[in-house]
Amino acid sequence: DGGITQSPKYLFRKEGQNVTLSCEQNLNHDAMYWYRQDPGQGLRLIYYSQIVNDFQKGDIAEGYSVSREKKESFPLTVTSAQKNPTAFYLCASSTPYRGGLGTEAFFGQGTRLTVV
Amino acid sequence: DQQVKQNSPSLSVQEGRISILNCDYTNSMFDYFLWYKKYPAEGPTFLISISSIKDKNEDGRFTVFLNKSAKHLSLHIVPSQPGDSAVYFCAASGSSAGNMLTFGGGTRLMVKP
């Protein structure tokens, strides 16, 4: 089955620690994304990568870092510099742009990170 | 500047009635629009889409309407069911954005039995 897998589903972190969220896809998509969702809020883009070994900051990249060493994997590290890391994190990948068919994003099931 | 906006953060509808969720966009280069449905603690799932060459697309109880001149799209759910209660996101893509989707802020739909 093709899809996106995020792990773990729940994650607890002590203040001052870095933590890495995993995202793996077997859809053969070039583009991958990380979003953050806070209660009652929409999806805010943290980082995105359109090709291996390349990535760009989204709207709220401060306190986060990513790597894209393999097409299938796009891990997100939440660093101690992130002031308010408790949130629901979503990873996605998207099809290439297909002219009149646009692009479609596929999401993982999310990771809920809680700072204790 | 938000390019895709959902101005109603929440909507409450009685079971069996019509639910209408609205979305406005500002970028005239967008040519493909999607709706996603999201339950709590889960990832969004694709619901329905429409290309800018159409003004309507139906899939069962779900219909999306596109008004290009007004840069407005809407999602109609008829009849609404309690299981439709979720957050709905509209999204847009276009040639200038390549494979990037721009999402609206979401509308929480509550269907009351």
DSSP letters, B82-112, are GGG-EEEEEEEEEGGGTT--EE---EEEEEE
Flag whether residue B99 sits within 8 Å of chain A, measured between CB atoms: yes
For residue A4, list chain B residues with Cβ-Cβ distance below 8 A: 43
pLDDT computed for residue A104 by the predictor? 86
Closest CA to B26 of B52, B5, B3, B6: B3
Closest CA to B59 of B78, B43, B45: B78
For residue A43, list chain B residues with Cβ-Cβ distance below 8 A: 44, 89, 103, 106
For residue B88, list chain A residues with Cβ-Cβ distance below 8 A: none
Flag whether residue B83 sits within 8 Å of chain A, measured between CB atoms: no
- Identify the residue with better confidence: A94 or B110: B110
CB contact under 8 A, A97 and B99: yes
Across chain B, which has 113 residues, the per-10-residue mean pLDDT values are 89 98 94 94 93 94 97 98 97 78 93 96
CB contact under 8 A, A105 and B101: yes
Backbone φ and ψ for A101, nearest 5 degrees, come out as -95, 5
Confidence category of residue A39, pLDDT binned at 50, 70, 90 = confident
For residue B45, list chain A residues with Cβ-Cβ distance below 8 A: 107
The yes-or-no verdict on residue A61 having pLDDT over 70 is: yes
Flag whether residue B9 sits within 8 Å of chain A, measured between CB atoms: yes
* pLDDT mean over A44-61: 93
Among positive and negative, which fits the CA dihedral A6, A46, A88, A83? Answer: positive
